[in-house]
Amino acid sequence: MRLLIIEDEHGIAGFLKDGLEEEYFAVDIAYDGKNGLDLAMTNDYDLIIIDWMIPAISGIEVCRQIRKAGSAVPIMFLTAKDTLEDVLFGLDAGANDYIKKPFAFEELLARIRVQLRNKNQSDDSLSAGPLEINPATHQAFCNSSEMTLTPKEFSLLEYLIRNKDKVCTRSRIIEHVWDIHFDSDTSVIDVYITFLRRKLENAGCGNLIQTIRGVGYIIRES
Amino acid sequence: MNTMKTDAKDALRNTSILLKKWSRMSLRNRIAFYYTIATAFLLALIFTILFFMVESMVYKQFDDEVNNEVSEIFADAHVTSHDFTSFSRFTNCIDDKEINFNETKHEEKGPAKIDTEFIQLVNTQGQVINKSVNLARNVLIFKPRETKTIYFNSTINNSTIHQGQLPLFNRDGIIKGYLIVAVPMKKAIIVLNDLQNVFLFSFPGIILTLFVLTRLIAGKSIRPIEKVITTAEKITHTNLIHRIELPYHQDELYRLSATINTLLDRMQEAFQREKQFTADASHELKTPLAVVKGTLEVLVRKPREKEHYETKIQFCLKELNRMASLIDQLLMLARYESKKMNPHREGVMLSVALETVTVRLFPIALEKEIKFNIEGQEKATVTTDPAMLEIMLENILSNAIKYSPARSVITITVEQKEKYMMCSITDQGIGIPEEKLTAVFERFYRVDESRNSSTGGFGLGLSIVKRLADLQQIKISVNSVKNIGTTFTLIFPSSIPVNPVPQKRVTA
């Protein structure tokens, strides 16, 4: 899952990136509104966190522009503004959630997961056939037995399961699982897919990840 | 006793109720009331004067009539009032009027004819010597011991007559008798009565009409006030956007409305400033808090290397220090703004204060290799609060250092002008755009809008400087040329002669 954080306060941006990367998110940071808007328009993010008071273009305006461009990406506001009017104003501008500074990091994580949850999903766990993963606890189960995955393997598997029954192109996988600092050599995907397949086969869930030649990979429900 | 007490209480209560009613009377009623009272008074005065004028004119006329009659009688009797010899000389003239004293005896039971003039002769004792027949048995009233001609009203058979009483002197100037002549006043009295009635009845009518009319006019002319009230009622501290519509005529109400609107503008501005200040303060305080909290929370989620802990803790300490200095500045600002501080003024040598501050700032100046160049009078003395002056100088100078390029010079000039002392501080920094110059003294204002902490300020320093300058009546101004430098100028009030208190000199 790839996130964009638009925050001018380096301290906050710094710990958010550290903490979220430890939670296996790919995190990009923009320190002003203009740069943030550019990134949001050119990349496909799974969630955007915006500070209200940022230089160049205000957080509210960035949010409006993103919505105006027709994107439905979940947007969370992160700000020291705390009056009811501010909250309502922020939500009206098209934000999905609003979290006040100072906040607890765990709360932010939980709220991010809520935003990433599919509409019909009741809890955080995702499944495909005999495979089940829980992004909150970073656990993956195959036929109820737990597998040990590296963070990148887990992120890749999570992305494929979130998009099950859909073909995930190599470029989309790169965009959502790796952050912007990764160069566009997509052969790294093949390496991780090989690792994943081996681990899945050992656990008894072989053949779950299928290759669509020349396009990418897919996980099918059945 | 008790009933008396309750009566008194009732009376008191009634009075207070009346007073309350009076105090609650609407402006329009009050205007009408005052106006009517004044007019009623004036009208009553005019009516009275008018009535008495008419009356005196009427009497004057009757006096003339009496006089005519008298002259006629004197002419007939061939006498004047100063050569009286005997009453008998008048007999003929009274007879001439065909009013024979003897004839009247036949009619003495009949009423006196009152539509003609009456004549009566009286001696000094008041005895009637002769009188005209038409008086019948009536006698005209006589006022004894009068030495001059007098005129007065009296009645005869219930009808008013106007009398003239003439003393008759002999050649030696001694009064020998009186000639009394009377004319009937019936018609005149009717006219006067009519006039009086017209005045009496029209008075309340006029007053009532006037009250109603004034009330109407007053109501119409104070209608704009109603508008002002309606608008003002809509205004609360959260809703200051409404303004009073200015009336067409540029009168007092126009001025009132304009004044209220200006007041509202100022209030809205003040509220906006307070709101902005609270928002800024909350942002500035919460951000470092969020940074520290978040960093530490992420830090303790997993075990890490020793170096990692150290870096993060150092980082948090830096943030906490920043927060502490912000809290210090906020408290200082609050302290100086909350109450009327009385600066403890004394004679201060500017050079001493400048040295204290530059020594204090030396370490950060050294980092950027910035030099201070102090020019001007060594012994310049100003009357001010030394502690406040140092805070001001320190804030301005640290700002100058912050925005100056490395290896530049900050020039401090002290000049004695004709009437005041001037101290200017010029840096060679990036300068402030002209349109932002006025805002630099606002709380939390920073020319660099990004509000990031790279320059380390909060935008409070100059607000504190401004506040302290205001407290001590020091004028502060700022000039700037982009990329050449900024000059802050302090103009101290003409110093009250106070002996300079030697300050402790701080050496580097």
pLDDT tens-place string over residues B458-494: 778 888 888 888 888 889 999 888 888 889 999 988 7
Find the chain A residues whose C-beta atoms sit closer than 8 A to any C-beta of B: 8-12, 14-16, 18-19, 22, 31-32, 53, 55, 80-82, 101-106
Minimal C-alpha gap between B486 and chain A (Å): 24
Does the structure show a pLDDT above 80 at A82? no
pLDDT higher than threshold 90 for residue B122: no
* Tally of domains in chain A: 2
Residues of A in contact with B293 (CB under 8 A): 102-105
Question: pLDDT at position B106, please?
Answer: 42
- State mean pLDDT over A158-175: 85
Say which of A12, A55, A82 has its CB closest to residue B294.
Answer: A12
Mean pLDDT of B97-109: 43
Read off the pLDDT of residues A113-139 as tens digits, 9 standing for 90 and up. Answer: 888 886 556 666 788 888 888 888 888
Nearest CA in chain B to A57: B450
Q: How confident is the model at residue B237 (pLDDT cuts 50, 70, 90)?
A: low
3-state DSSP assignment of residue B183: strand
Per-residue pLDDT, averaged over A199-213, amounts to: 85
The last residue of a domain, from among A116, A141, A163: A116
Inter-chain CB proximity B451 and A14 less than 8 Å = no
Of the three residues A87, A116, A145, the one that is the final residue of a domain is A116
Asked if the Cβ–Cβ distance from B298 to A103 is below 8 Å, we say no
Determine phi and psi for B165, rounding to 5 degrees: -120, 115
- Would you call B339 helix, strand, or coil by DSSP? coil
Does the beta-carbon distance from B293 to A18 stay under 8 Å? no
Query: What residue of A is the nearest CA neighbor of B281?
Result: A80
What's residue A67's pLDDT?
Answer: 92
Same domain, A88 and A11: yes
With CB atoms and an 8 Å threshold, state whether B294 touches A102. yes
Q: Strand, coil or helix: what is B262? A: helix
* CATH at residue A56: 3.40.50.2300
Q: What is the mean pLDDT of chain A?
A: 86
Q: What is the pLDDT confidence band of residue A37, given thresholds at 50, 70 and 90?
A: very high
Chain B residues within 8 A of A16 when measuring between CB atoms: 294
Contacts A–B by Cβ distance under 8 A: 74
Decide if pLDDT at B103 tops 60.
no
Same domain, A102 and A140: no
List CB contacts (< 8 A) between A8 and chain B: 450-452
Residue B166 has pLDDT above 90, yes or no: no
Q: With pLDDT > 90 as the criterion, what percentage of chain A qualifies?
A: 24
Q: Do the Cβ atoms of A96 and A74 come closer than 8 Å?
A: yes
Range A40-56 burial, b when 16+ CB lie within 10 A, else e:
beeeebbbbbbbbbbbb
State how far the alpha carbon of B256 is from the alpha carbons of B227, B228, B246, B334, in Å: 12, 9, 9, 35
Domain that holds residue A95: 2-116
pLDDT per position as a tens digit, B33-76: 898 999 999 999 999 999 999 988 988 888 888 888 888 888 87
Residues of B with CB under 8 A from a CB of A: 279, 282-283, 286-291, 293-295, 297-298, 301-302, 315, 319, 449-453
On whether the CB atoms of residues B139 and B157 are closer than 8 A, the answer is: no
In a domain, A121, yes or no: no
Angle formed by the axes of helices A33-42 and A59-68, to 10°? 20
CA distance A212 to chain B (A): 38
Structural domains present in chain B? 80-186 (3.30.450), 252-334 (1.10.287.130), 341-492 (3.30.565.10)
Does A66 share its domain with A139? Answer: no
Looking at the fold, whether A32 and A13 belong to one and the same domain comes out as yes
For A54-81, the pLDDT digits (tens) are 888 888 999 999 999 988 899 999 887 7
Average pLDDT, integer, range B225-252: 78
- Partner residue opposite B302 with nearest CB, options A12, A22, A106: A22
Whether A160 and A130 map to the same domain: the answer is yes
pLDDT of residue B312: 92
State how far residue A219 is from chain B, nearest Cα, in angstroms.
Answer: 32
Q: Do A82 and B282 touch (CB under 8 A)?
A: yes
Measured between CA atoms, how close is A8 to chain B, in angstroms? 7
The predicted pLDDT at position B92 comes to 63
Which residues from A are below 8 Å from B294, CB to CB? 11-12, 15-16, 19, 102-103, 105
Top pLDDT among B267 and A222 is at: B267
**Whole-Å CA distances, B375 to B212, B261, B354, B424:** 79, 49, 11, 10
- pTM of the predicted structure, to 2 decimals: 0.58
For residues A107 and A150, state if they share a domain: no
What lies within 8 Å, CB to CB, of B48 at 6+ separation is none
Q: Give the pLDDT mean for A32-60.
A: 89
8 Å CB contact of A15 and B453: no
Q: Residues A131, A69: one domain? A: no
Average pLDDT over residues B392-419: 87
Q: Mark whether A69 and A102 lie in a shared domain.
A: yes
The pLDDT of A142-170, averaged and rounded, is 86
Assigned domain for A96 exists: yes
CA distance B167 to B179: 6
Is A12 among the domain residues?
Answer: yes
Whether B109 shows a pLDDT value over 50: the answer reads no
Among A82-86, A180-184, B260-264, B386-390, which is the least confidently predicted range?
A: A180-184
Checking ipTM against 0.90, whether it exceeds it is no
Residue of chain B with shortest Cα separation from A13:
B291
Instruction: Assess whether A175 and A133 both reside in one domain.
Output: yes
Domain closes at, from A47, A81, A116? A116
Nearest neighbour of B319 by CB, restricted to A11, A16, A80: A11
We report the CATH number of the domain holding residue A175 as: 1.10.10.10
Q: Tens digits of per-residue pLDDT, A7-21?
A: 988 889 999 999 999
For the CA atoms of A169, A174, A177, A178, the dihedral, rounded to the nearest 10 degrees, stands at: 180
pLDDT band at B299 (very low <50, low <70, confident <90, very high): very high
- Given a contact cutoff of 8 angstroms between Cβ atoms, the answer to whether B382 and B414 are in contact is no
Chain B residues in contact with A105 (beta carbon < 8 A): 293-294, 297-298, 301
The reply to whether A73 and A154 lie within a common domain is no
pLDDT tens column, B418-470: 788 889 999 888 888 888 888 888 887 777 655 454 556 777 888 888 888 88
The SS3 call for residue A6 is: strand
B25 SS3 class:
coil
What's at B391, amino acid-wise?
I
- Average pLDDT of chain B is 81
Distance from CA of A100 to the nearest CA of B (A): 9
H/E run at residue B180: strand B175-184
- CB contacts, 8 Å: B297 with chain A: 15, 19, 104-106
